[in-house]
């Protein structure tokens, strides 16, 4: 454990930021799973609705710096491809 006051603060701040990032990543994963579940159920309308929600979550994560913009683009692209393949 750190003894210096500034080091103690860094530990707290880093933990707070890690928790925030973890929550955002978890939201993204959940939204992706909802799209995958709709695809598995062969429900085109639900998949399209879940895709819109997932795209929004992924873009928010990229804006907040949790994901790199290329990573978010790749995730969105793969989801779009999977939903479009259903048709």
The model's pLDDT over 37-71, given as tens digits with 9 standing for 90+, comes to 999 999 999 999 999 999 999 999 999 999 999 99
In a domain, 2, yes or no: no
Establish if 29 belongs to a structural domain.
no
Examine residue 48 and state whether it is found in any structural domain, yes or no: no
The 3-class SS string of 9-66 reads HHHHHHHHHHHHHHHHHHHHHHHHHHHHHHHHCCCHHHHHHHHHHHHHHHHHHHHCCC
With 80 as the cut, is the pLDDT of residue 84 above it?
A: yes
Residue 34 counted as domain residue: no
Q: Give the per-residue pLDDT at 1.
A: 82
Task: Work out the pLDDT band at 87, boundaries 50, 70, 90.
Answer: low
Domains of the chain: total: 1
Within-domain flag for 44: no
Range of the domain at 62: 54-87
Q: Is residue 81 in a domain?
A: yes
Residue 10 domain-assigned? no
Angle at the Cα of 59 (from 54 to 60), degrees rounded to 5?
A: 100
As a whole number, mean pLDDT of residues 24-41 equals: 97
Predicted structure pTM score: 0.88
């Amino acid at each position: 454990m750190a003894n210096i006051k500034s080091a103690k603060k860094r530990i707290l701040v880093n933990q707070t930021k890690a928790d925030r990032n973890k929550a955002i990543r978890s939201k993204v994963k959940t939204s992706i799973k909802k799209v995958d579940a709709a695809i598995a159920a062969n429900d085109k309308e639900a998949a399209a609705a879940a895709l819109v929600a997932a795209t929004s979550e992924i873009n928010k994560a990229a804006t907040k710096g949790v994901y790199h913009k290329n990573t978010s683009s790749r995730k969105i692209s793969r989801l779009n491809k999977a939903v479009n393949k259903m048709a």
